[in-house]
Copies of this chain bind each other. A is one copy, B any other.
Amino acid sequence: MRQETIENYLKTIYNLSSDNTVVVGNKELAGRLNLRPATVTEGLRKLDELKYVFYEKSYGTRLTTSGAKLALNIVRRHRIWETYLVKELGFGWDEVHEIAEELEHVKNDKLINKLAGILGNPIYDPHGDPIPDAKGKIFKSNFIKLSEAKPKVSYKIMGVTDHSSAFLKYLEKHHLIIGANILVKQFEEFDSSILLTCNKNEIIISSKAAECMIVQVN
């Protein structure tokens, strides 16, 4: 298997398995990788042979220790590059994901560690995602999705789970950036939309948007 293919599978399995607690299904994996389920079945069989995953037919897939190690490494590269592009090269947080998708496959630990060093070994990337350290250790936090927040509680925005330019630009337009403090006023029963205040401005957020926002109690 091509190294880039392996890396994309492992990274995606990692992102879907929330810390290896959930087994990943073929259909969802196929969707994320822009492949057909049949293709993914083949791919997983090979990754299983390479001992990167435990693949149980018709059931699901988990990363092995070595698979998780590689996955964490790719995730580190991706997030370090995103951070470097934003902090050192002046890109917007909405334009770095695509570039990092390519840069993450450049294999050179010295390079990544140098970038990380220049950045002061950051723990979070521009989207609030935790950056594994050189050993693969990741800072564990107790963030929740905004869609799971409680009314009348004040939160701080810590991250996003959708990295698309469209979504990030939308957030920016409403000043819903990382670090911003928001007060959840109420949930609309009808469509689960949320009324909240941010910088003294009231705004209504769709449940879809709230699903993609990560917050922490203030």
Interface residues of A (CB under 8 A from B): 85, 89-91, 99, 102-103, 105-108, 110-111, 114-115, 118
Residues in B whose Cβ lies below 8 Å from that of A85? 111
Residue of B nearest to A101 (CB): B106
Point out the residues of chain B lying under 8 angstroms from A103, CB to CB. 103, 106
- Taking a contact as CB atoms under 8 Å apart, the answer to whether A111 and B90 are in contact is no
Q: Do B114 and A89 touch across chains, with their CB atoms under 8 A apart?
A: yes
Query: Do the beta carbons of B114 and A90 come within 8 Å of each other?
Result: yes
Cα–Cα, bound, A91→B111 (Å): 9
Chain B residue at minimum C-beta to C-beta distance from A98: B108
Min CB gap A45→B, angstroms = 24
Q: Flag if A107 contacts B114 (CB, 8 Å).
A: no
Output the least CB separation between A115 and chain B (Å): 8
Query: Could you tell me if A99 and B89 are in contact, using CB atoms closer than 8 angstroms?
Result: no
Could you say which of B90, B99, B106 contacts A108, with CB atoms under 8 Å apart?
Answer: B99
Distance of A6 from chain B, by nearest CB (Å)? 16
Would you mind naming 18 contact pairs between A and B with Cβ atoms under 8 Å apart? A85-B111, A89-B111, A89-B114, A89-B115, A89-B118, A90-B114, A91-B110, A91-B114, A99-B106, A99-B108, A99-B111, A102-B105, A102-B106, A102-B107, A102-B108, A103-B103, A103-B106, A106-B106
A114 to chain B, nearest CB (A): 5
Q: How far is the CA of A111 from the CA of B100 in the complex (A)?
A: 11
Q: Which residues of B contact A118 (CB under 8 A)?
A: 89
